[in-house]
Amino acid sequence: MQKQAAGSSSVASSAGRYVSLFTERFAMRVPVVQAPMAGGATPPAMVAAVSNAGGLGFLAAAPFDAEKLGSEVAAIRALTDRPFGVNLFILEPASPDDATVRRALDSIDPLRALLGLPPGTPLDRYAPDFRTQLDALIALRVPVVSFTFGVLSKEDVTRLQQAGSYVIGTATHVAEGLAWRDAGADAIVAQGAEAGAHRGTFIGRAEDALVGTLALVPQLVDATGLPVLAAGGIMDGRGIAAALMLGAQAVQMGTAFLTCAESAIPAIWKSRVLSAADNATEVTRVITGRHARGIRNPLMQQLGEHPERIAPYPVQNALTQGLRQSASRAENGDYLSLWSGQGAPLARKRPDGIGAAALVALLDREWRDVVSASNGLLND
Ligand SMILES: Cc1cc2nc3c(=O)[nH]c(=O)nc-3n(C[C@H](O)[C@H](O)[C@H](O)COP(=O)(O)O)c2cc1C
């Protein structure tokens, strides 16, 4: 099969080899990228398992300082020789005034008290320094890097590419895709409204950027001419086949991997995902100060009673962290952030505790079966 032009994809017969510029570049046998998921869901064991299975594993490195970033990348390299990715959040340093912190704690402290925690206090630091993380990432020379919450300068994109990294930007609408294209990105993640956890939106209001995956992917393919990875609500072979038909060159799946054996999130989070209904999730900014999709629970509902008190990201995120970590340790699903996409119920059909490699193999079989069956859509 011939390589095709950027921005288009080609779908193989069920026995054939799927070829797109993106999958060829990283010798992927399966057009599945495991989404980076901050919060413990994508440890090195999962990243390596996915890459070894012919997909592309991705480390969520946003919460890490430079040292931890280095040790996690070393752990992945010890487990695989295959390409993998590392993801960061693009953030400005946060220096909130006391009133902003005080107001946020007025809502958080009663919930901390419920869990037996003392009142919260202002912090020295609300997130790792992005510039330090970026320099560390460049020095690590990893095969693929991706970013969300913003766009890099051309200079930073060039520095990464000169270090041998393939650069992917996250877009939730076309203007963001064009901003990444103009910065020199190699590919775009199209994050549809169905997606679990934080919205990547960085141009305009998040409320205006809830474009569904079905509508978003072809628009980003047409507008950017870059390889597009479809993300949001893709849980099985049907979703993968549909995304490839829309012109995506691969899919990026998060929620589907959240309940895998390697995912080191609390068991109660997995069980809430597995028992969720299709309408169980909501996009909210009350937990972290940035819009994110998760399963409704008392944490979301109670913080939502005073939206005017919510501090911007990453301040609210850091201020609610102690509460959420304590809930995690206690397996208390009521005060965790239960990030999940709208496709959560589709995770139930997987065998209990399925490994990430087995999931990649299943997904590959499923999407090929869908494509084969689609030959019967047209009557002679
Ligand atoms: C628990 C969780 C954590 C996530 N963390 C990140 C992250 O650190 N960086 C990022 O770019 N995307 C993150 N995402 C979003 C994914 O990259 C992707 O857009 C999303 O999972 C796709 O939708 P799906 O969950 O329906 O598959 C996260 C998603 C989930 C479910």
pLDDT in tens, 329-374: 999 999 999 999 999 999 999 999 999 999 999 999 999 999 999 8
User: Facing residues of 339 across strands?
Assistant: 294
User: Facing residues of 89 across strands?
Assistant: 148
Among 32, 33, 37, 269, the mutation site with the greatest number of ligand 1 atoms within 8 A of its Cβ is 37
Among 58, 188, 198, 240, the mutation site with the greatest number of ligand 1 atoms within 8 A of its Cβ is 198
What local confidence, expressed as pLDDT, does residue 378 receive?
Answer: 85
- Is residue 146 assigned to a domain? yes
What local confidence, expressed as pLDDT, does residue 377 receive?
Answer: 87
342 and 366 housed in the same domain: no
Helix (H, G, I), strand (E, B) or coil at 178: helix
Residue located via tokens 């990430």: 356
- Is residue 377 assigned to a domain? no
What local confidence, expressed as pLDDT, does residue 10 receive?
Answer: 58
Q: Which domain covers residue 153, as residue numbers?
A: 1-91+127-262+355-372
Cα atoms found within 13 Å of the Cα of residue 254, Cβ hemisphere only: 30
Which ligand 1 atom is at minimum distance from the Cα of 233? 26
Which ligand 1 atom is at minimum distance from the Cα of 265? 1
Distance (Å) from CA 149 to ligand 1 centroid: 12
- CB neighbours of 129 closer than 8 A, spacing ≥ 6? 93
**314: preceding bond cis by omega (within 30 degrees):** yes
Question: Can you point out the beta strands (E) in the chain?
Answer: 32-34, 58-60, 85-89, 144-148, 166-171, 187-191, 197-198, 228-231, 250-253, 281-284, 292-295
What local confidence, expressed as pLDDT, does residue 13 receive?
Answer: 47
199 and 253 housed in the same domain: yes
- Is residue 379 assigned to a domain? no
In angstroms, how far is CA 236 from the centroid of its own chain? 17
74 and 159 housed in the same domain: yes
* CB of 69 closer than 8 Å to CB of 137: yes
The pLDDT of residue 214 is above 90: yes
Residue 2's pLDDT band, with cuts at 50, 70 and 90, is: very low
What local confidence, expressed as pLDDT, does residue 5 receive?
Answer: 40
- Is residue 207 assigned to a domain? yes
Helix (H, G, I), strand (E, B) or coil at 280: coil
Express as a percent the part of the chain with pLDDT over 90.
Answer: 93
268 and 337 housed in the same domain: yes
Taking residues 143-158, what's their average pLDDT?
98
188 and 299 housed in the same domain: no
Count of structural domains, the chain: 2
The pLDDT of residue 380 is above 90: no
Residue whose CA is at the smallest distance from ligand 1 atom 3: 37
Residue 8's pLDDT band, with cuts at 50, 70 and 90, is: very low
Residue whose CA is at the smallest distance from ligand 1 atom 4: 37
Distance (Å) from CA 201 to ligand 1 centroid: 13
367 and 253 housed in the same domain: yes
Distance (Å) from CA 97 to ligand 1 centroid: 30
Helix (H, G, I), strand (E, B) or coil at 187: strand
Residue 11's pLDDT band, with cuts at 50, 70 and 90, is: low
Distance (Å) from CA 93 to ligand 1 centroid: 23
Q: Which amino acid is at 255?
A: T
User: Facing residues of 250 across strands?
Assistant: 229
- Is residue 378 assigned to a domain? no
- Is residue 306 assigned to a domain? yes
Residue whose CA is at the smallest distance from ligand 1 atom 6: 37
51 and 68 housed in the same domain: yes
Distance (Å) from CA 46 to ligand 1 centroid: 14
- Is residue 74 assigned to a domain? yes
77 and 217 housed in the same domain: yes
User: In terms of pLDDT, which residue wins out, 116 or 8?
Assistant: 116
Distance (Å) from CA 49 to ligand 1 centroid: 18
Distance (Å) from CA 98 to ligand 1 centroid: 31
Residue whose CA is at the smallest distance from ligand 1 atom 10: 36
**233-265 burial, b for 16+ CB within 10 Å, e for fewer?**
bbbbbebbbbbbebbbbbbbbbbbbbbbbbbeb
Residue 1's pLDDT band, with cuts at 50, 70 and 90, is: very low
4 and 113 housed in the same domain: no
User: Of 201, 212, 210, 207, which Cα lies nearest the Cα of 179?
Assistant: 201
pLDDT tens string 290-319: 999 999 999 999 999 999 999 999 999 999
Taking residues 22-33, what's their average pLDDT?
98
Residue-averaged pLDDT of the chain: 95
Residue 376's pLDDT band, with cuts at 50, 70 and 90, is: confident
pLDDT tens string 231-286: 999 999 999 999 999 999 999 999 999 999 999 999 999 999 999 999 999 999 99
The pLDDT of residue 7 is above 60: no
Distance (Å) from CA 197 to ligand 1 centroid: 5
241 and 173 housed in the same domain: yes
- Is residue 380 assigned to a domain? no
Residue whose CA is at the smallest distance from ligand 1 atom 21: 254
Q: Judging by beta carbons within 10 Å of its beta carbon (0-12, 13-18, 19+), is residue 225 exposed, middle or buried? A: middle
- Show the tokens assigned to 226: 């870059």
Residue whose CA is at the smallest distance from ligand 1 atom 13: 37
DSSP secondary structure of 225-275: -S-EEEESS--SHHHHHHHHHTT-SEEEESHHHHTSTT--S-HHHHHHHHT
If phi over 0 gives left and psi between -120 and 50 gives alpha, with beta otherwise, what is residue 318?
alpha
Count CB-CB contacts under 10 A for residue 115: 16
Distance (Å) from CA 36 to ligand 1 centroid: 6
Residue 17's pLDDT band, with cuts at 50, 70 and 90, is: confident
Distance (Å) from CA 71 to ligand 1 centroid: 22
287 and 205 housed in the same domain: no
DSSP H or E run through 347:
none
Which ligand 1 atom is at minimum distance from the Cα of 341? 26
Return the CATH number at 219.
Answer: 3.20.20.70
190 and 333 housed in the same domain: no
Q: What lines the ligand 1 site, CB under 6 Å?
A: 35-39, 41, 60, 62, 87, 148, 170, 191, 194-197, 231-234, 252-256, 258, 339-341, 343
Which ligand 1 atom is at minimum distance from the Cα of 253? 27
